[in-house]
Amino acid sequence: MEEFKRVKVEKLFELMKKLFVAAGLPEADAEVSTEALIAADLRGIDSHGASRLPYYIGKLKNGTVNPKPNIKIVHELPSTALLDGDDGLGPVVSKLAMELAIKKAKATGAGLVSVRRSNHFGIAGYYSMMALKEGMMGLVMTNAVSMVTPTFSAKGVLGTNPISFAVPTGRLRPFVLDMATSAVPLGKIEIALKNNKKIPVGWLYDDKGEFTDDPSIIVKGGNLAPLGGTRELGGHKGYGLAMMVDILSAILSNANYGAKQEGLMSMRKEPSNVGHFFMAVRVDGFRPVAEFGQTMDEALTAIKDSPKAKGQDRIYIHGEPEFEFEDERKKLGIPLHPQVVMNLTNLAKAAGIKAEEYL
Amino acid sequence: MEEFKRVKVEKLFELMKKLFVAAGLPEADAEVSTEALIAADLRGIDSHGASRLPYYIGKLKNGTVNPKPNIKIVHELPSTALLDGDDGLGPVVSKLAMELAIKKAKATGAGLVSVRRSNHFGIAGYYSMMALKEGMMGLVMTNAVSMVTPTFSAKGVLGTNPISFAVPTGRLRPFVLDMATSAVPLGKIEIALKNNKKIPVGWLYDDKGEFTDDPSIIVKGGNLAPLGGTRELGGHKGYGLAMMVDILSAILSNANYGAKQEGLMSMRKEPSNVGHFFMAVRVDGFRPVAEFGQTMDEALTAIKDSPKAKGQDRIYIHGEPEFEFEDERKKLGIPLHPQVVMNLTNLAKAAGIKAEEYL
């Protein structure tokens, strides 16, 4: 068992922000980007937090991400907008985009913003949850590196294209769905590969489009299965959801859709042109917020109180495990994998920052 | 093999409309309802067409559906509305609701309508596709009879809660996703049961919340699995999508959410109070419609042209199989199962209509 290092949230925040500034981001944008990444670490989604910093910094350094983008509204109606991110860092572009969706929702009841020329934005849930404090629901999607296989295809021409849907409640914690539309995220294959274990049939296709239980196939032309896995178990539905995300994020915005997103193993020297979709909806466009919150509490409680499956003692609401991670990590610090510590240390060294003051 | 009877679309339409009128619907509403049901038959979704007529007529006759509803906007903003269906028939309420969403989208770019006190509305795709001829995308959801099990639960406290997303294209046929958020629809279990066949693990839970390959468990306290099936294959995501549908359709509208929808075996003598959600979004709120259509065509063609899995010679776009059914059935007529013919004949007899003039 490798030893994880617990690091105080404030310390990690400070280090990451300094690294972003050293890579050319203005102070305010470095702060936004750090906050988005640390939100993932806090919520236990370790694959999308500090561990991604080398990727983000690398893109800033090789010039495929623009550190000082001129983000523009290309076209808009009272409830809609197309935003051009000018190849800015994902969180910088995306926070602005979600704020615009919220502003439009304030005016009309709903705001929908499709974004082009952006980059990897971290976890979708960070942005969908921005709606909560406004008494709104947030729906956020993004397209991504192509590695998910349509039903009956043998190639990963779609991304893991996540969907996040955040909904305010009354006294309970918010409902926060945040899911890839693939059966599993890439990380699960990587972990099995590292531990030399077989994987369940339904996660991974080989380069003939047949299921495999061998995780090493992912680096031999293999591709992820859509949610549902086999056709028999509804894989065409996961494929359809991935298409919906691609349409709203990348086709509606004229970003790089489908296989135009770079593949898993590629390292393009041109901007990613990722597409996102942000929607904010006022709850009081339908019902008073307090009344709605009370019904949400009742509905979630009814689910939690329903009879448990054999061997189970708890039914989870979406977002619950993540909020519990957040409570723990705010108190005890964020556990960093030794590899992440090493990567951060190296980035710091290259930037003339003393990592040991933070980690 | 039982013999299906091919019936001309116009003849079936006329008979069904007459049966609706005989059950108390005004002429115009009978026409709308028939059109919505026949859309399912045309598209090959036989479980949601003429075969459902006895259920609809039964509800009109036992007074749980109001044949002359006073449908009202309870509250609205420029882009949103809450609609009260006054216990009207699903298609009657829903066509009005989608028209309202489209009207709001014309004004602001997007229209979102949540509906309470409605009933089973047929296929979601009928309403999402209403957006297409306006150069809009349509997103439609509904909650339903509770029979889908949340992850780690042993009870079907959620509906099959379908999502339909329709998107205009250029010269290709529209993209029309229309999917239950359960792994499979109830019909697949019923067919296996009828044919005395085992079912794949991942479709059906028994009353302990354990998977079973025995379809007869559906009538012994069994419940459907959410899309993804097992937790390992992502069943918590299907559960999350079912929740999203329930929130937008029934909690936002204050309809009967979750297990408040009657169970599979119940025959309540009170209105169903089903909730729906309708959204229309103007494509030109983002990009010119023609330009978007061209990108859609390119994207769908790229998917179809991607390498095929071993043993497959075609990759389907969502909606394609249904459009092909429609072409065939418009030409050759709609094939009706002998049981459906008998049910229609009996309904006609009770209404003093000569079924043999139509079937």
Work out the angle between the directed axes of helices A27-42 and A320-332 (0-180°, nearest 10).
110
A320 interfaces chain B, CB cutoff of 8 Å: no
Distance CA B242, CA B308 (A): 31
What gap in Å lies between CA B24 and CA B87, rounded to an integer? 14
Does residue B151 sit at the A interface (CB-CB below 8 Å)?
yes
- Which pLDDT tens digit goes with each residue over B162-174? 999 999 999 999 9
Indicate if the pLDDT at residue B1 is higher than 60.
no
Report the C-alpha gap between A56 and A73 in whole angstroms. Answer: 24
SS3 labels along chain B: CCCCEEECHHHHHHHHHHHHHHCCCCHHHHHHHHHHHHHHHHCCCHHHCHHHHHHHHHHHHCCCCCCCCCCEEEEEECCEEEEECCCCCHHHHHHHHHHHHHHHHHHHCEEEEEEEEECCCCCHHHHHHHHHHHCEEEEEEECCCECECCCCECCCCECCCCEEEEECCCCCCCEEEEECCECCCHHHHHHHHHCCCCCCCCCEECCCCCEECCHHHHHCCCEECECCCCCCCCHHHHHHHHHHHHHHHHHCCCCCCHHHCCECCCCCCCCCCEEEEEEEEEHHHCCCHHHHHHHHHHHHHHHHCCCECCCCCCCCCCCHHHHHHHHHHHHHCEEECHHHHHHHHHHHHHCCCCHHHCC
Q: Is A153 helix (H, G, I), strand (E, B) or coil?
A: strand
Q: What is the mean pLDDT of each run of 10 residues along chain A (359 residues)?
A: 88 98 98 98 94 94 96 98 98 98 98 98 98 98 96 96 98 98 92 92 94 95 95 95 98 97 75 97 98 98 97 97 98 96 97 95
Mutate to test the interface with A, among B151, B239, B251, B322 (most CBs of A within 10 A): B251
- Assign A133 to helix, strand or coil: helix
Mean pLDDT of B16-44: 98
From chain B, pick out residues whose CB is under 8 angstroms from the CB of A208.
309-310
Q: Is B299 on the interface with A (CB under 8 A)?
A: yes
Contacts of B109 in chain A (CB under 8 A): 76-80, 112
Helix axis angle for A27-42 and A9-22, nearest 10°, is: 140
Shortest CA gap B15–chain A (Å)? 34
Yes or no, beta carbons of B257 and A299 under 8 Å apart: yes
**B287-337 pLDDT, tens digit each:** 999 999 999 999 999 999 999 999 999 999 999 999 999 999 999 999 999
Of B77, B78, B200, which is closest to A233 when you measure between CB atoms? Answer: B200
Flag if A316 and B236 touch (Cβ within 8 Å).
Answer: yes
Q: Which of B234, B247, B286 sits opposite A253 (nearest CB)?
A: B286
Higher pLDDT: B1 or A80? It is A80
Max Cα separation, chain A? 57
First CA to last CA across chain B, in angstroms?
20
Q: Do B309 and A210 touch (CB under 8 A)?
A: yes
Question: In this structure, which CATH number among 1.20.1530.20, 3.40.50.2300, 1.20.1250.20, 3.30.1370.60 belongs to the domain B72-183+225-287?
Answer: 3.30.1370.60
If we measure between CA atoms, which residue out of A180, A280, A295, A277 comes closest to residue A226?
A180
Q: Is the CB of B153 less than 8 angstroms away from the CB of A253? A: no
CB contact under 8 A, B310 and A154: yes
- Which residues, other chains included, contact A332 with Cβ-Cβ below 8 Å and sequence gap of 6+? A6
Give the number of A-B residue pairs with CB atoms closer than 8 Å.
289
* Farthest CA pair distance, chain B: 57
Q: What is the pLDDT of residue A194?
A: 86
CB < 8 Å to A209, chain B: 307-310, 312
Q: What is the pLDDT of residues B243-287, one digit of tens each?
A: 999 999 999 999 999 999 987 666 678 999 999 999 999 999 999
Residue A177 and residue B110: Cβ atoms within 8 Å?
Answer: no
Q: Do B286 and A252 touch (CB under 8 A)?
A: yes
Cβ distance of B303 and A200 shorter than 8 Å = no
Per domain, the residue ranges of chain B are 1-61+319-359, 72-183+225-287
Residue A216 near residue A199, CB atoms below 8 Å = no
Residue B351 and residue B22 in contact, taking contact as beta carbons nearer than 8 Å: yes
pLDDT in tens, B227-241: 999 889 999 999 999
Least confident among A37-41, B83-87, B188-192: B188-192
Is the Cβ of A114 closer than 8 Å to some Cβ of chain B? yes
pLDDT at residue number B226: 98
In the prediction, which pLDDT does A3 show? 86
Q: Say which of A157, A227, A312 has its CB closest to residue B302.
A: A157
Mean pLDDT over B95-121 rounds to 98
Q: Do B234 and A183 touch (CB under 8 A)?
A: yes
C-alpha distance from A82 to closest chain B C-alpha (Å): 5
Topology, domain A70-183+225-305: Ribosomal Protein S8; Chain: A, domain 1 (3.30.1370)
Whether residue A75 lies within 8 A of chain B, CB to CB, comes out as yes
- Tell me which DSSP letter residue A308 carries: B
- How many whole angstroms separate alpha carbon A340 and alpha carbon A16? 12
Instruction: List the single residue in A with minimal CA-CA distance to B181.
Output: A237
B window 179-238, beta carbon within 8 A of A: 179, 181, 183-184, 200, 202-203, 205, 208-210, 227-229, 232-234, 236-238
- Class level of CATH domain A1-61+319-359: mainly alpha
* Partner residue facing B296 (CB), from A251, A253, A306: A251
What are the tokens at B53? 């007529």
Q: Smallest Cβ distance to A82: which of B287, B295, B316?
A: B287
Query: d(Cα A322, Cα B153) in Å, to the nearest integer?
Result: 20
Residues of chain A positioned with their CB less than 8 A from the CB of B291: 254
**How far apart are the C-alpha atoms of B244 and B257, rounded to whole Å?**
11
pLDDT at A266: 64
Q: Where are the alpha helices (DSSP H) in chain A?
A: 9-22, 27-42, 53-61, 90-108, 124-128, 186-194, 235-246, 289-304, 320-332, 338-350
Q: Does the distance separating the beta carbons of B152 and A309 come in below 8 Å?
A: yes
